[in-house]
Amino acid sequence: MSTHDLVLWRHADAGERAEQGEASDDLLRPLTPKGEKQAARMAAWLKRQLPESTRVICSPAARTEQTAMALPRPYKLRKELEPDATAQDLIDVAQWGQARSLTLLVGHQPSLGALVASAMRPLWTPSQAISEEPGLPPVSIRKGALWWLRLRVREDVSQVVVVCVQTPELL
């Protein structure tokens, strides 16, 4: 049996989007004081749970980078994880199903939730193209929360297992 873990961490609470700003302004929104506390709580928990070999990949938006910085691990910024990313973009960047080490993605809704919703379909594998299917709404992921998913293959059948769902409020 082989397994591949993927942790999806939504950025913590951030300032509101400007009413009439450009799209690039959205990338500059920082965490609020509440968001800083959420990120710190979740990072402390993750520090105890994640193996040292974990790859951390983060959207270049200020709020996601600040969330990732709460975890004392090196991380890489990837444009493919910006707020308009698709679930397939996330899978491609993480190399889910191919990467040898656990991958932590720090990103945004609705792409994180779309990935979770797609992964919960029976007999789904990351190598399948993800379509934005009507009737398949994204899973709602709270700010600062994470979903830990494990892809396992048993007897040539892929299964996605939810290892953990954690919110900063419960820590």
Confidence of residue 43 (pLDDT cuts 50, 70, 90): very high
For the chain, the structural domain boundaries read: 2-170
What is the mean predicted confidence (pLDDT) over 121-146? 72
Confidence of residue 19 (pLDDT cuts 50, 70, 90): low
Confidence of residue 135 (pLDDT cuts 50, 70, 90): low
Within the chain, where are the H helices? 23-27, 33-49, 62-69, 87-94, 111-119
What CA–CA distances, in Å, run from 35 to 3, 13, 39, 76, 94? 32, 4, 6, 21, 25
Residue 71 has pLDDT above 60, yes or no: yes
For the chain, the average pLDDT equals 89
Residue 133 has pLDDT above 60, yes or no: no
What is the spatial distance between Cα 149 and Cα 26, in angstroms, rounded to a whole number?
A: 28
Topology classification of domain 2-170: Rossmann fold (3.40.50)
Query: Across-strand partners of 146?
Result: 9, 166
Q: Higher model confidence: residue 115 or residue 25? A: 115
- Residue 133 DSSP code: -
Ramachandran class of 43: left when φ > 0, alpha when ψ lies in -120 to 50, beta otherwise: alpha
Window from 28-37, 111-120, 135-144 with minimum mean pLDDT: 135-144
Residue 1 has pLDDT above 70, yes or no: no
Q: Higher model confidence: residue 57 or residue 154? A: 57
Pairing of strands 146-154, 157-166: antiparallel
Task: List the structure tokens of 2.
Answer: 């082989």
Residue 131 has pLDDT above 90, yes or no: no
Measured in whole angstroms, the distance separating CA 88 from the mean position of its chain's CA atoms is 12
